[in-house]
Amino acid sequence: MKTAELLMPAGSLEKLKVAVLYGADAVYMGTPDLSLRTRSNFTLEEVVEGIAFAHAHGKRAYLTLNLFSHNCDIEKLPEYVETIRKAKPDGVIIADPGVFHFVKNAAPELDLHISTQANVCSWLSVQFWESLGADLIVLAREVSFDELKEIRAKCPNVKLEAFVHGAMCMTYSGRCLLSNYLAERGANQGNCANSCRWNYTVKLRLKDGTLKELELNDETRELFDFFLEEEQRPGELMTLEEDERGSYILNAKDLCLMPRLNDYLALGIDSLKVEGRNRSAYYVAVTARAYRMAIDDWRENPTAWQPDAYMRELATIPNRGYSLAFHEGKLKHHAHNFEDTHTLAEWEYAGIVVEVTEDAFMLDIKNRMEQGDVLEFISPASLVPLLLRIYEFQDIRHKRTFTTEGINAGQQPLLRIPFAWFHEEDATRLSKDFPPYTIVRKERALSQDAWARLKLDVVAQEVERGKAREEIYQKKRQELVEAVAVQNEGVTFRTPRLGVEGCCGRGCNGCQHFWNDPRYERARQLLKSKKQGRLLSGAEAQQATEA
């Protein structure tokens, strides 16, 4: 059986290196002017460097040239193509037929991949592009798994690529004009404003010309003309058309096919693609690691493979809730969030290891840290993170050390994390298993409505997979509605910050309470009996500390 590659996004040179470190077989990237990501941090010179880095590590690199071209874009094509010919990428991703024709003639030695922007949804379209010389076809996210099987059967001689993870668009993969209309930012040029996710309220206009907010229901539906008003555009009213399903604009959840990954691997798809060139290095690392380990574990024992451990890891990435989307053909209501449009997770990006010395990590932090935060160092080789509760900040960039306050990422500190703080770990292992570009995360404080949203997201996934009842989903949805009504009353962490309220009992490195308090002696003994790097489960920690 052919081996499916794991294809990860690279929005910058740093993210490319992170993707390679955490298990990508291939990366895709592009300059902001000629690909569909205007926030992509790649110069043409860095693209060349990125391709060389990928090749040096035995990985493949694809370039995105997938915009729908306007006249002003065409003059840039000759220099772009001439430069990338010298860099020798493993493929160029294209959507525009004119651009395809140009590159095919100017650089016939380059492999050409058809972008998801081309909206290929059938075997007939696959055969069309194959006849023109395309080497790989990226199928639209809207293709169901049954359709994918038929395409694979009818098109055995061309490579197929399918999205398995990432953001979803409310239209055919980026063909929305809402962003153009409201913000003059073209989705088809890589600059979507995500207008479908903005916060809208319903307005009615009384006979005297005044405007009022109104709840839509059976009594009011036939009495008034309805308008939408976006919160940052007061007075700009948009006529609202409503059907029996409601009056919302779509807020699609994120695509996550991890629960069905075994089906795609068994089918023999050539490339499994993760969306997210605008996402953080933390997103790239955790997603790549989860899918890398899932793919490898399936290959080793496909009959015993289960997705749950990898889904728990993917839940640590800020997301809009995960959905199987069009996998089964029909998009279900569980694939949308109607009450909340934010990306959420219990965890957030804490920092990235930029250097490893003989006795310390050098950590570039990305979010504010507080005294007592537990840092999780995410190993590229294991699902089990390395934990450290931090009490002291050694900022070597500004030559200061302090313990009485937090530290902000905006100050651009460079933290020194001595190996001596990991008093239960071997320094040699630390250097080996946590090299430069290792990602670090930490817990995030959430409001009650955010916790309710996360619980609803989990239940929605279970309902989609046939493991929970619809009534439970509706109950959790109502709990979210009620929580939103009283939002911002307080934010809480799942575990204590400084240990004064108690200890989570997991055995974090640097946690003075766990390693010194007599109350946790039984927990310490239990932890010593486990394999290196294995922490106590929540149940084990609770049982040991209660005893």
Q: How far apart are CA 200 and CA 228, in angstroms?
A: 6
* Class of the CATH domain delimited by 5-168+258-309: alpha beta
What single string gives the DSSP state of each residue in 163-221? EEEE---SSSTT---HHHHHHS--GGGT----GGGS-EEEEEE-TTS-EEE----TTTT
The Cα–Cα gap between 28 and 273 comes to 10
What pTM did the predictor assign? Answer: 0.84
* Average pLDDT per consecutive 10 residues, the chain (547 residues; last block may be shorter): 89 95 96 59 83 96 87 84 88 95 96 94 97 97 94 97 90 66 64 70 71 64 65 67 46 91 95 93 97 96 96 95 89 74 91 97 96 94 91 94 88 95 91 96 91 92 91 88 70 59 68 77 84 72 73
Looking at domain 347-445+494-546, its CATH architecture is Beta Barrel (2.40)
Q: What is d(CA 38, CA 41) in angstroms, rounded to the nearest whole number?
A: 8
How are beta strands 374-378 and 386-389 bridged, if at all?
antiparallel
Residue that has been written with the tokens 């959790």 in this structure: 476
- Grouping H, G, I as helix, E, B as strand and the rest as coil, residue 14 is helix
481 φ, ψ (degrees, to nearest 5): -55, -45
Whole-angstrom Cα Rg for the chain: 25
Instruction: Say what the pLDDT of residue 499 is.
Output: 47
* b/e map 392-407, b = 16+ CB within 10 Å: ebbbeeeeeeeeeeeb
Within the chain, all domains assigned CATH 3.20.20.70 are found at 5-168+258-309
Token pair recorded at residue 346: 């219990």
In whole angstroms, how far apart are CA 129 and each of 81, 124, 133, 149?
A: 20, 9, 7, 18
Q: Are 158 and 136 in contact (CB under 8 A)?
A: yes
**β-strand pairing of 322-323 with 347-356:** unpaired
* Residue 352: both structure tokens together: 């990235």
Q: Which residues, including other chains, have CB under 8 Å from residue 444's CB and lie 6 or more apart?
A: 345, 346, 347, 348, 493
Please tell me the predicted confidence (pLDDT) of residue 9. 96
| Contact yes or no for 435/428 (Cβ under 8 A) | no
Element (H, E) at 374: strand 374-378
Q: Which of 249, 247, 251 is nearest to 215 (CA)?
A: 247
CATH 2.40.30.10 intervals, the chain:
347-445+494-546
What are the CA-CA distances from residue 218 to residues 41, 221, 224 (Å)?
A: 50, 5, 12
Quickly count: other Cβ atoms within 10 Å of residue 509's Cβ.
Answer: 19
Sequence-ordered list of residues with C-beta below 8 angstroms from that of 134, at least 6 positions apart, any chain: 100, 112, 113, 114, 158
